[in-house]
């Protein structure tokens, strides 16, 4: 069994754990202004988390793909339905990896105000209880790469 299987098996609408995906090694996560997939700045300074491990994996890979591709497009799904991410890129490295930061779900973390969303926000620094290095090849079946 993979180390992250316990996280993948949780009920995403009643989660014990929350996740944040990033291509970078981070010791402490700090609230920041996020930018969505169309490069629109979010009005909120927060740490954005998800209860869906697969969704966090999408974010772990997305920013690295943006860095190495001149032309790209992404759509990330926050409602628990597959594909978790649809994307278009020219370059997809065989060894693409990222990190998923794991946190206990607690009263200080706020769920977005939509019934079927997996997105949460936290307004103070967080230290993860676990960090998982993930490889795109292990999650490719959860995503849809569009070829043009």
Q: Quote the percentage of the chain above a pLDDT of 70.
A: 92
Structural domain count, the chain? 1
CA distances from 15 to 9, 36, 71 (A): 10, 24, 35
pLDDT value of residue 42: 59
The helix (H) or strand (E) run that includes residue 63 is helix 53-68
pLDDT value of residue 79: 84
Pick left, alpha or beta for residue 80 (phi over 0 → left; psi -120 to 50 → alpha; otherwise beta).
left
Residue that wins the pLDDT comparison between 75 and 1: 75
pLDDT value of residue 33: 80
CATH code for the domain in which residue 86 is found: 3.20.170
Task: Name, in order, each residue with C-beta under 8 angstroms of 35's C-beta and a sequence gap of 6 or more.
Answer: 41, 42
pLDDT value of residue 36: 53
pLDDT value of residue 76: 86
- Report the candidate in 141, 122, 119 with the shortest Cα–Cα distance to residue 28: 122
Owning domain of residue 103: 5-145
- pLDDT of 37 higher than 60: no
pLDDT tens-digit profile of 62-116? 989 999 999 889 888 888 889 999 999 999 999 999 999 999 999 888 887 777 7
């Amino acid at each position: 069994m993979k180390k992250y299987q316990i996280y993948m098996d949780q009920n995403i609408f009643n989660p014990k754990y929350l996740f944040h995906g990033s291509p970078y090694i981070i010791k402490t996560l700090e609230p920041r202004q996020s930018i969505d997939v169309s490069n629109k700045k979010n009005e909120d300074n927060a740490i954005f988390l998800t209860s869906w491990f697969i969704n966090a994996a999408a974010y772990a890979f997305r920013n690295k793909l943006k860095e190495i591709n001149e032309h790209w497009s992404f759509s990330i799904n926050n409602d628990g339905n597959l594909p978790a991410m649809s994307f278009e890129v020219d370059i997809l490295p065989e060894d693409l990896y990222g990190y998923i930061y794991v946190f206990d779900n607690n009263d200080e973390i706020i769920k977005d105000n939509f019934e079927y969303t997996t997105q949460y926000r936290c307004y103070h620094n967080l230290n993860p209880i676990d960090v998982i290095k993930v490889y795109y090849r292990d999650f490719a079946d959860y995503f849809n790469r569009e070829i043009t």
